[in-house]
Amino acid sequence: AQTVTQSQPEMSVQEAETVTLSCTYDTSESNYYLFWYKQPPSRQMILVIRQEAYKQQNATENRFSVNFQKAAKSFSLKISDSQLGDTAMYFCAFMEYGNKLVFGAGTILRVKS
């Protein structure tokens, strides 16, 4: 069974600085997707970024980028120029093609002014 590990329960960062959230996963599959979701206090799940395993290029969405290391099964999220609105719980998730999402335990990120 696939597992997703987020080893940082909580992190803090100063506004405008950069922070990296770590995620590792375990799978025997070669085709899959990886995701980072943001869950603010409203509890709405917001897709931050998506990476397809067969793509070597790291995905980027504005201030959010990932460092995808397939061999190491690592998928970290870098948030640049952190903003107060980035304060949320962040979940790393894995999905085989057309299957269910498997979530990590989450990392609470607090952006301080």
> For residue 111, which of 82, 78, 90 has the smallest C-alpha distance?
82
104 lines the binding site for another protein (CB under 8 A)? yes
108 lines the binding site for another protein (CB under 8 A): yes
Coil/strand/helix, residue 84: helix
Q: How far is the CB of 45 from another protein (least distance, A)?
A: 4
Q: Which is nearer to another protein, 82 or 91 (CB)?
A: 91
What residues numbered 27-86 form the site for another protein, per CB under 8 A?
Answer: 33, 35, 42-45, 47
- Name, in order, each residue with C-beta under 8 angstroms of 14's C-beta and a sequence gap of 6 or more: 82, 111, 112
Question: In the complex with another protein, which residue's Cβ is closer, 13 or 108?
Answer: 108
Is residue 12 near another protein by the rule CB under 8 A? no
64 token code pair: 């959010």
Could you tell me how far CA 2 lies from the centroid of its own chain? 16
Which positions lie near another protein, rule CB under 8 A? 33, 35, 42-45, 47, 89, 91, 95, 97-98, 100-101, 103-106, 108
